[in-house]
Structure 1
Amino acid sequence: MLLTSATLLLALSGYAALCMASPFGPCRKCSGTGLRELRKGAKTCRRCHGRRRRLRIGTRAYNAWRRTHAAGTRPTTNPKGAPPWR
């Protein structure tokens, strides 16, 4: 149980470090080429719009959490020295 928890924690922290270092990863649909092969020829990828990179799932989840947290907290525009409830 302890070994499994440690391995999971290590994997999650490694993925979080990867998302912080490189928030964009290659598009999974076009394999990072920006083009989709069709019978008639090639078209730009619909998912990445030809840019070849997309936000990683972890980065997308972190951004959603940050937006939710910012929307749910009150702004702190108090004068200096005033308590937050005034």
Structure 2
Amino acid sequence: MDSRTMIASLPCLALVIVTLGYLGLCVVSPFGRCRACHATGRTRSRLGRIRRDCRHCAGTGLRLRVGRHVINHLHDEYEAAKR
């Protein structure tokens, strides 16, 4: 391999490492902080006075990560194919 090929393959290798690291994080810690309520579980109504449960996280302050959604979908497809 010459140096140009090595330099061209570095961004691809970095992308693979970052992706696998994120999927590993999703396996170990499937829930992240809710961005809508800043992990408090409560949001203000449109009028600004009434505090209600966050509809994005159902008042828990946690949400399922996007990567975990992907893992769950792939697992469900695999289980469906085995039937």
Task: Name the TM-score class by shorter chain.
Answer: 0.7 to 0.9
The CA deviation at 1:36 is 0.6
1:21 corresponds to: 28
| TM-score, structure 2 as length reference | 0.81
What is the TM-score normalised by the length of structure 1? Answer: 0.79
Query: 1:51 — aligned with what?
Result: 60
Gaps of 5+ in 1: 75-86
Q: Distance in 1 between matches of 2:23 and 2:81?
A: 24
Equivalent pairs counted in the alignment come to: 74
Partner residue of 1:12 out of 19, 36, 41: 19
Aligned Cα root-mean-square deviation (Å)? 1.1
> Which of the pair is proportionally richer in helix?
2
CA distance in 2, matches of 1:8, 1:16: 12
What is the identity percentage for the equivalent residue pairs of Structure 1 and Structure 2? 35
Structure of higher CA gyration radius: 1
Deviation at 1:31, TM superposition (A): 1.4
